[in-house]
Homo-oligomer: A and B are copies of this chain.
């Protein structure tokens, strides 16, 4: 094994000096206040080792990264029946996603675009009160991170709820097409709360382990999902994990990953590591500028691309 601690330290050092840090998301008032001069990285290995550098202990809003976890829960709940309500194909551009929703009768193209994640949340709501579902998701996050301190930032959730007209439009479209079982406000309420979960890089790297290690929290850890399911969610992350920048992320980094507008990215090195990187500034397609760059460096230096070693 390479000197991972050395690599992550070198990456954090290099990122600290980067002049072009992207732009912090402005559309959620609570997120717009975040200091862009932050960068954290954490790498969890199968043997339980955790390497970290930079602001790896600072909590940030995981936002869309939560979608890989709610997807895991929903698949656990309804199994492959989920795929009757959500597709598994990349979505093309954001503009297209609405056109597509209309053309495909309310079946979102994949579970990681907002429309798809809203349907996944709707699946989790079935038979429960919103509050219960939010509690269930939070307990799951604490379990897989092995950290009971993880919480939801209510200010962020409220902030998104007040300004989320576009998501409200999507949810209403899906409802009009009979692919939402609950009132749009209810489903969106749960959705905004799981997006508002705050985690540190260390916690997130821990949480992502089951994708890397055949469905387990470490080689001998408890089973969270089957190994086949872990592989398949990894495949979805690779093809659909970064919105309109998914192809480019695969091309540049070569790892399955899921980004969030809070600046975090969870990346998976199958059979090897779960990696969480965070820096608040975003690039043109809404993914963290420095986190993407850091993952490209890490993948190169460690020879971790799933598309071939250097």
Contact = CB atoms under 8 A, between A and B. Distances in A.
A273 B214 CA distance: 22
A16 interface: no
A156 interface: no
Given A98-B98, A308-B227, A90 B93 contact: no
A63 interface: no
A60 to B, nearest CB: 25
A239 B230 contact: no
A175 B184 contact: no
Interface in A77-106: 87-93, 95-96, 98-100, 102-103
B89 A92 contact: yes
A185 B251 CA distance: 32
Interface string A257-273: 00000000000001100
Nearest to A211: B308
Contact of A172 (B91, B110, B169, B309): B169
A166 interface: yes
Contact of A246 (B89, B170, B270): B89
B307 A238 contact: yes
A35 interface: no
A214 B92 contact: no
A46 B192 CA distance: 49
A175 B170 contact: no
Contact of A90 (B92, B102, B254, B305): B92
A118 B235 CA distance: 28
Interface in A201-244: 212, 214, 227-228, 230-232, 234-236, 238-240, 244
A239 B245 CA distance: 11
A90 B88 contact: no
A235 B214 contact: no
Given A110-B247, A165-B173, A270-B306, 10 more contacts: A88-B247, A89-B245, A90-B246, A91-B92, A93-B103, A169-B169, A172-B172, A236-B250, A238-B250, A271-B308
Interface of A: 87-93, 95-96, 98-100, 102-103, 109-110, 165-166, 168-173, 175-176, 184, 212, 214, 227-228, 230-232, 234-236, 238-240, 244-248, 250-251, 254, 256, 270-271, 305-310
Kindly list the 5 A-B residue pairs having the minimum CB-CB distance in the complex, ordered from nearest: A92-B92, A90-B90, A169-B172, A165-B176, A89-B247
